[in-house]
């Protein structure tokens, strides 16, 4: 059966009366429902009556509260939340919910109306599985994010978001910038970065809003970005970003090659001390020279950071196999030798390098070695790497998918490589824990909430795993639906109607915690007075995903808020790759869609 969710019928034909509610079977005893009610006068509080063709035993809903249940579960009176009480003429109140039933009599039908408005039964439409589709997203659902006007189906312009995210990584570049630098307010920086014996350590990405280079999150981000690029390369082509993406991803790969010396068995993992974050505020172009550097060695090992960098290099080698074979071979050689170093000399890098512990304290290294091994198997098809990956693999359901825990990433790649149902079950268990009814709380507006520190980063990373799992045939409908809901939350489906991606839409963060963008153009001075400035950052840090709101959807656009308004290279990685997945779906499966509802039909229809 073709799924039908969020089918939005043009309310211009439903004059202040009933509107249809559409349902689709999601699980054996649950259906997803949605409706949109037009607002004909200003409201300061509202109630909506929801009627169903059959009894509903439980109604899970975020946009409203159920205040009364009537007619044996066939009618519900819904009341606004505190954050959406005020509605204005021309708005629409759109509600999504999950309806649980005790029995199955076919797909539910229903209708809804706004209390206090005349119900005009002459305009009532029958609710069937073939409700006419006549509206575009901009017509039926107001949004303060950037609605899609690109001609590609989808609620938001995901192609635009994809290009913006790449620009964020360009803004993070350290070293001598290329002639095709895309960020006009950035210039050459940190040209004196050198190893203990004069090794050239220029390049790479600054980690966040500060000016330190941390290889662990940098390599993690590079691996995730490369994984998404390989899986959905067509998305980058469609968005006109393929060349830009190759250029962007090569920047950290070149840097990793500089950091690794296979002869000396030394790998530089950090440039700059964490104290720099609290002692310096300004442009990277104004950083002091000869920053302190840190490395892991045979006597002071770092299997985690070396392992994830080997994964990044191996993934890069696959990317460049056809584009630049000699460069791809160089990446693969470095990946294999660095992996050998990581597995021969075991240890946690933040123990060997205490300077890293305050920012990126690692909890282990088997997960990184697992990911490195499986990527090397993908690059070489040497079965010894696959056997290694199985050895390092853990069946545990991890806390999250992040720079510190890549367990579920390895589980998913092992399933992709082997089709062993054991790995599939592990991935399913992890994703189930993140979905409604799992172990995570949800914010009132529907975001899965793992941690207040970079809340959107965790959410987007798991959305990426969900889309990747769907590509491997794991719970396709459910995983795509969930990933889409979380990404749309980030782009504007939240109580602030705010895009949490800087530069996207008409309302987005103006004060991301980012030194370079907070500074005026040179030669003007930039220091802590700019940090404390009440105004917006002089430069728009296009594409940056900020940390995000807390568990109540509360967010403060303040530069001083390093919990909610920080940006970082690992924040954007899973987010960008998920966006690439949505662009891929929109261009390969939605080419005939004329409305957002049809987009969702195609998105949620299992591949045959």
What positions carry a catalytic annotation?
Answer: 557, 566
DSSP alpha helices (H): ranges in 435-475?
Answer: 455-471
Residue (of 598, 514, 599) closest to 132 by Cα position = 598
Q: H or E segment at 527?
A: none
User: What are the residues whose beta carbons fall under 8 Å from the beta carbon of 305, sequence distance 6 or more?
Assistant: 215, 216, 219, 267, 269, 296, 349, 362, 368
Per-residue 3-state assignment (H helix, E strand, C coil) for 47-114: EEEEEECCCCCEEEECCEEEEEEEHHHCEEEEEECHHHCEECCCCEEEEEEEEECCCCCCCCCEEEEE
- 276: DSSP letter: H
Locate 534 and state its tokens: 């009440």
Token pair in block for residue 264: 């000396």
How many alpha carbons lie under 13 Å from residue 401 in its C-beta half-sphere?
27
Contact 575, 466 (CB under 8 A): no
How many other C-beta atoms lie within 10 A of the C-beta of residue 330?
A: 17
CA proximity to 412, closest of 371, 460, 463: 371
Q: At what angle do helices 476-491 and 421-434 cross, to 10 degrees?
A: 40
| Rounded distance between C-alpha atoms, residue 150 and residue 157, angstroms | 7
Residues linked to residue 205 through DSSP beta bridges, in sequence order: 173
């Amino acid at each position: 059966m073709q799924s039908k969710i969020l089918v939005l019928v043009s309310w211009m034909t439903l004059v202040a009366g009933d509107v249809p509610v559409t349902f689709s079977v999601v699980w054996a005893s649950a259906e997803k429902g949605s409706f949109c009610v037009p607002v004909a006068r200003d409201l300061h509080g509202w109630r909506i009556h929801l009627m169903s063709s059959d009894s509903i035993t439980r109604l899970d809903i975020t946009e409203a509260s159920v205040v009364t249940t009537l007619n044996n579960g066939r009618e519900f009176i819904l009341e606004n939340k505190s954050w959406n009480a005020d509605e204005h003429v021309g708005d629409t109140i759109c509600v999504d919910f999950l309806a649980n039933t005790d029995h199955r009599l076919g797909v539910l039908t229903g209708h809804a109306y706004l209390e206090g408005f005349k119900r005009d039964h002459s305009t009532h439409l029958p609710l069937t599985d073939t409700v006419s589709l006549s509206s575009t997203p901009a017509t039926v659902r107001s949004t303060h994010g950037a609605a899609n006007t690109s001609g590609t189906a989808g609620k938001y312009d995901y192609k635009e978001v994809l290009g913006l995210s790449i620009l964020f990584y360009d803004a993070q570049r350290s070293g001598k910038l290329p002639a095709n630098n895309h960020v006009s307010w950035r210039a050459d920086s940190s040209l004196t970065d050198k190893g203990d014996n004069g090794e050239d350590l220029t390049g790479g990405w600054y980690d966040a809003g500060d000016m330190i280079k941390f290889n662990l999150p940098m390599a993690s981000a590079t691996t995730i970005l490369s994984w998404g690029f390989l899986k959905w390369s067509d998305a980058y082509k469609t968005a006109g970003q393929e060349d830009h993406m190759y250029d962007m991803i090569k920047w950290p790969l070149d840097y990793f090659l500089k950091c690794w010396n296979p002869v000396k068995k030394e790998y530089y993992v950090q440039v700059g001390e964490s104290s720099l974050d609290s002692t310096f505020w300004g442009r990277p172009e104004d950083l002091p020279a000869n920053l302190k550097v840190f490395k892991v060695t045979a006597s002071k090992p770092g299997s985690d950071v070396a392992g994830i960098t080997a994964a990044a290099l191996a993934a890069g080698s696959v990317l460049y196999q056809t584009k630049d074979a000699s460069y791809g071979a160089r990446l693969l050689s470095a990946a294999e030798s660095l992996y050998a170093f990581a597995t021969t000399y075991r240890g946690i890098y933040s123990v060997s390098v205490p300077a890293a512990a305050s920012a990126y304290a690692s909890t282990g290294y088997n997960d990184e070695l697992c990911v490195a091994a499986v990527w090397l198997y993908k690059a070489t098809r040497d079965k010894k790497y696959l056997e290694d990956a199985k050895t390092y693999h853990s069946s545990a359901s991890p806390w999250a998918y992040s720079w510190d825990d890549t367990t579920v990433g390895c589980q998913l790649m092992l399933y992709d490589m082997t089709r062993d149902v054991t790995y599939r079950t592990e991935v399913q268990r992890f994703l189930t824990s993140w979905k409604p009814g799992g172990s995570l709380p949800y914010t009132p507006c529907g975001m899965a909430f793992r941690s207040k520190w970079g809340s959107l980063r965790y959410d987007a990373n798991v959305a990426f795993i969900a889309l990747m799992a769907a590509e491997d045939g794991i719970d396709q409908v459910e995983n795509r639906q969930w990933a889409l809901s979380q990404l749309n939350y980030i782009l504007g489906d939240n109580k602030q109607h705010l895009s949490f991606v800087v530069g996207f839409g008409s309302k987005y963060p103006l004060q991301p915690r980012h030194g370079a963008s907070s500074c005026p153009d040179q030669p003007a001075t930039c220091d802590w007075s700019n940090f404390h400035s009440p105004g917006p950052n002089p430069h728009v840090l296009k594409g940056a995903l900020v940390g995000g709101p807390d568990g109540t959807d509360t967010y403060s656009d303040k530069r001083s808020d390093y919990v909610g308004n920080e940006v970082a290279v690992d924040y954007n990685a899973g987010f960008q790759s998920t966006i690439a997945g949505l662009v891929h779906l929109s261009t390969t499966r939605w080419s005939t869609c004329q409305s957002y509802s049809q987009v969702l039909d195609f998105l949620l229809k299992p591949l045959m």
